[in-house]
Structure 1
């Protein structure tokens, strides 16, 4: 009888753990390219799982949570302009009653920086929302740190 109860408990644990897996359909990677002695471009790449999409930085009120980048202020670098995104796919989204811009597969965002020192580290975070044709995940934040030599 104890063996049966033990086996039932193990089966329940495996079932619960299978349902409690955290979905992470967007993976982030980072790189940097120096463009001069005092400037660089930071590349922030979103790799998006098949069937999922990530929203553009440009979204009207009442729509989905747009992708947003925030950078920690620093004495060793300044941001040059805003974070640039690739051209999004656009379509009318009946759920929001508006045109929505989004990305599938990959999206590479670029941020230019003016360097005021050597060995600069650009820190910040990205907030984003990922959806597929059945559900949207809650907005998620990911911190990043990119070293520029």
Structure 2
């Protein structure tokens, strides 16, 4: 009887654990390209699973969480200007009663950096919110380290 109870408990916890897995519909990849001896561009690419999207950096307050890039302070490099993004898809969202801009499938953000030495590692975080037509997941934050050679 104890063996059966133990087996049933194990099966129950396995099923609960499998159903509680966290969805991660966005994957990030990074690259850098030197454009001169003292400047480079870092590329931050988000790939979304089909049906999912992340929001632009340029959203007004009162809507979904916008994408935010934060770069760590370093004596090796300094960001130049703001992180750029391609043209987003914009629509009026009935839930937020405002226009929202988003990217589906794939998007590449770019940040120019001034290099204070020949090589550097650009570090920071990206905070973003991902949604599909049925749900939004809580905002997520991902750290990045991008070598510039």
TM bin (shorter chain): over 0.9
Structure 1 residue runs of 4 or more that deviate by more than 6 Å after TM superposition:
none
Q: Deviations over 1:69-117 (max 9, x none)?
A: 0101111212111000111111111000011100111010000011110
Distance, in Å, in 2 between the alignment partners of 1:140 and 1:21 is: 15
- Residue 142 of structure 2 aligns with which residue? 142
What corresponds to 1:7 in structure 2?
Answer: 7
**Runs of 5+ unmatched residues, structure 1:** none
Partner of 2:123: 123
* CA positional deviation for 1:63: 0.4
Tell me how far apart the structure 1 counterparts of residues 10 and 86 of structure 2 sit (CA, whole Å). 48
> Is 1:92 aligned to 2:96, yes or no?
no
The aligned residue for residue 64 of structure 2 is 64
Contact 2:35-2:41 within 8 A present in 1 as well: yes
Between the aligned partners of 1:64 and 1:27, the Cα distance in structure 2 is: 20
Counterparts of 1:3 and 1:133 in 2: how far apart (Å)? 45
**TM-score, structure 2 as length reference:** 0.96
Shift of residue 126, structure 1, vs aligned partner: 0.3
Cα deviation digits, residues 46-87 of structure 1 (max 9, x gap): 000111110000111100000000101111212111000111
1:33 aligns with 2:33: yes
SS at match of 1:142: strand
The alignment covers a number of residue pairs equal to 149
Instruction: Give the conservation status (yes or no) of the 8 Å contact 2:38–2:118.
Output: no
TM-score with structure 1 setting the length: 0.96
Q: Is the 8 A contact 2:45 2:107 kept in 1?
A: yes
